[in-house]
A and B are shown apart, each in its own frame.
Chain A
Amino acid sequence: MSRLWRASPLTYGALIAAAVLSVFPIYWMFVVASRSSDAMGQLPPPVTPGGNLGANISRLFANADAYFLTGLINSAIVATTVTVSVVFFSSLAGFAFAKLRFRGSNALLMVIIATMMVPTQLGIIPLYMLMTKLNLNDRLPAVIMPALVTGFGVFMMRQYAGQAVSNELIEAARVDGCGTARIYWNVVLPALRPAAAVLGLLTFMTTWNDFLWPYAVLNDPENPTVQLSLRALSDGYYQDMSQVFTGTAIATLPLLLVFVLFGRQIIGGIMEGAVKA
């Protein structure tokens, strides 16, 4: 590790190019969001921020077709619920797989890994029929329920629990008279906190971004997620691009905020998961 090749100026040049390409579309989104609506018809295209952000935001929230505020609130509800649930159930199952002995555990773990390869998105038609039957169409539980726990989450927590929680600690708690539930809550869960945080962040971002299934099941334009609001804005009869871009910028902002605050942990989580996979 210590004797990596030194990076040449050429490497730095290429990395700067990659970084600019990565960041530019996001930056430009904010540029257009802060301009007046005629900015889109200008050549050369504007690349510096203007002073219209406030006005665009108020026009966006006043737009009667987009239900943007509802979208934001709905997405916050969905993403938060799913995140809490995924972290809880994944860590619980991960703990069982890593630290408890039970018949069939290896085979069941293989099943879980295999489920990660299944394109479940292709099952949305019966899923839609199921939600219709349960009378949940157009309502948030239809979006939340299928996402409550993921194979990826279970696998990730199992990997982390295997190394982060020592068997001695669990034995000690058992000698002390703790049942498995208390061991999970008092011993394992605190030890899993770093991995749980990463899983939570990744889950929040994925859920916030989810499009296909909400698009299928939330048909009521008055009750969208924020991504569906964006769709309504973008497909709108007349296109006011500075307003649309204000929407995309606001929809992206929570993700960027999370990333700026916890980027190091997210990168660590992705890279650690990769080595083990």
Chain B
Amino acid sequence: MALQLDARPPATPGPRDTRLRRAGRLSRIDAKYSPYLYIAPFFLVFAVFGAWPLAYTLWVSLHDWDLLGSNPTFIGADNYTQLLADSDFWHSVVNTLGIFVISTVPQLLLALWLANMLNRQLRFRTGWRMAVLVPNVTSTAAVAIVFGVLFGREFGMINWLLDLVSVDPIGWKSNRFASWVAISAMVDWRWTGYNALIFLAAMQAIPRDLYEAAAIDGANRARQFWTITVPLLKPTIIFCVIISTIGGLQLFTEPRLFHSGTNPIRGGTLRESQTVTMYMFENAFAPYYNFGYGSAVAWLLFALIAIVAAINVLIIRRLGAGAKPDTGRKGGSR
């Protein structure tokens, strides 16, 4: 196609010369500055609605700042010292970390296992992939309500199934640990298939001859999985862990809609499953509208996310290094 265009006769110089020159200058300006124009919308939107609010949260957190905000007083770190002594806050931190651990570890292991199965010669390939991904495309709020009923104490299907194997009914909403498990089940239901597809994509990038060589050396399937697949998947696993950390520690919709009745923002009568984001919401919006205190919660959560993400990356690096030296990393990082 380009050849054909090049074969056109060159533009004839003549009276149109100055106009062409001006067009040339315009096009140079266009080439030089228009890229900034094209990327500007993102930076504008992110600056106004993403970066600024996050930074301003820090400023607000240093004030006694209510809904009217007419006369915010600077109080330094008072919100933070109060928060660090606030047992409800720590309660929500423990809830969040508990739900995070109970959900993320099985989720990523299951996703690896599922991806390994999907990475076979299968009939109805797309069908299986769609089936494991469909939870991810449903409405979070809707699913939280449905799970809230499935995990009901009197008439919930889970307790009914447990009853069939003679397990006493469990108070999925009133027992703290049980509520973590129920909410984790909801999170895993939604995200396992999604992560499996991401792992699957990375698995497909691993050259087959690595496995053939390992098979010749006498390594069985399980060994091949742990010594070839998993180490080569390390960058992808780290990616998934970071994404799960950022998302998991900000968990809100699932625990919020798992509960109903009076004051559901507390995540149960005794705050059984109130996450940190819920605690931030409870303080910052109706009924308290304590913006300063809520902002302090937001920043401590921010710090928590950073710390947990860093710890996770360190652990996974260590694990990978223990399992196998870095051979063939190029293949995995594609």
Q: DSSP class of A's interface residues: helix, strand, loop or mixed?
A: helix
Q: Given A126-B57, A252-B138, is A234 in contact with B260 using a C-beta cutoff of 8 Å?
A: yes
Is there a chain A Cβ closer than 8 Å to B99's Cβ?
no
- Interchain CB contact under 8 A, B160 and A43: yes
- In the bound assembly, the distance between CA atoms of A15 and B145 in angstroms comes to 26
Q: DSSP class of B's interface residues: helix, strand, loop or mixed?
A: helix
Contacts of A21 in B (CB 8 A): 189
Which of B52, B146, B198, B277 has the most CB atoms of chain A within a 10 A radius of its CB? B146
Is there a chain A Cβ closer than 8 Å to B82's Cβ?
no
Q: Considering only CB atoms and an 8 Å cut-off, how many residues of chain A contact the other chain?
A: 109
- In the bound assembly, the distance between CA atoms of A231 and B87 in angstroms comes to 28
Is there a chain A Cβ closer than 8 Å to B75's Cβ?
no
- Interchain CB contact under 8 A, A125 and B246: no
Is there a chain A Cβ closer than 8 Å to B183's Cβ?
no
Is there a chain B Cβ closer than 8 Å to A7's Cβ?
yes
- Interchain CB contact under 8 A, A125 and B57: yes
Which of A205, A230, A249 has the most CB atoms of chain B within a 10 A radius of its CB? A230
- In the bound assembly, the distance between CA atoms of A90 and B57 in angstroms comes to 27
- Interchain CB contact under 8 A, A275 and B202: yes
- Interchain CB contact under 8 A, A227 and B141: yes
| Interface residue ranges of B37-72 to A (CB < 8 Å) | 38-39, 41-43, 45-46, 48-54, 56-57, 60, 69
- Interchain CB contact under 8 A, B41 and A25: no
Contacts of A96 in B (CB 8 A): 34-35, 38-39
Closest chain B residue, CB of each to CB of A115: B46
Contacts of A115 in B (CB 8 A): 46, 50-51
Q: Given A25-B143, A212-B277, is A123 in contact with B27 using a C-beta cutoff of 8 Å?
A: no
Contacts of B200 in A (CB 8 A): 271
Which one of A108, A120, A151 contacts B53 once the chains associate, using CB atoms below 8 Å?
A120
B245-282 interface bits toward A, Cβ cutoff 8 Å, 1 = contact, 0 = none = 01000101100110011001000000000000100110
Contacts of A112 in B (CB 8 A): 42
- In the bound assembly, the distance between CA atoms of A263 and B137 in angstroms comes to 10
- Interchain CB contact under 8 A, A259 and B134: yes
| Interface residue ranges of B118-137 to A (CB < 8 Å) | 118-123, 126, 128-135, 137
- Interchain CB contact under 8 A, A122 and B301: yes
What class of interface size applies to chain B in its complex with A? 35 or more
The distance from the CB of A115 to the nearest CB of chain B, in whole angstroms, is 6
- Interchain CB contact under 8 A, B131 and A22: yes
Which one of A1, A119, A244 contacts B302 once the chains associate, using CB atoms below 8 Å?
A119
- In the bound assembly, the distance between CA atoms of A234 and B142 in angstroms comes to 9
Contacts of B119 in A (CB 8 A): 4
Contacts of B129 in A (CB 8 A): 263, 267
| Interface residue ranges of A168-227 to B (CB < 8 Å) | 168-169, 171-172, 174-177, 179-181, 184, 205, 208-209, 211-212, 215-216, 219, 226-227
Q: Which residues of A does B touch, CB under 8 Å?
A: 1, 3-7, 11, 14-15, 18-19, 21-23, 25-26, 28-29, 32, 40-45, 89-90, 92-93, 95-97, 100-102, 105, 108, 112, 115, 117-130, 145-146, 148-151, 154, 168-169, 171-172, 174-177, 179-181, 184, 205, 208-209, 211-212, 215-216, 219, 226-227, 230-231, 234-235, 239, 241, 244-245, 247-249, 251-252, 255-256, 258-259, 263-264, 266-267, 270-272, 274-275, 277
Q: Which residues of B does A touch, CB under 8 Å?
A: 1-2, 5-6, 23, 26-27, 30-32, 34-36, 38-39, 41-43, 45-46, 48-54, 56-57, 60, 69, 114, 117-123, 126, 128-135, 137-143, 145-150, 155, 157, 160, 189, 193-194, 197-198, 200-202, 204-205, 208, 221, 236, 239, 242, 246, 250, 252-253, 256-257, 260-261, 264, 277, 280-281, 284-286, 291, 294-295, 298-299, 301-302, 305, 334
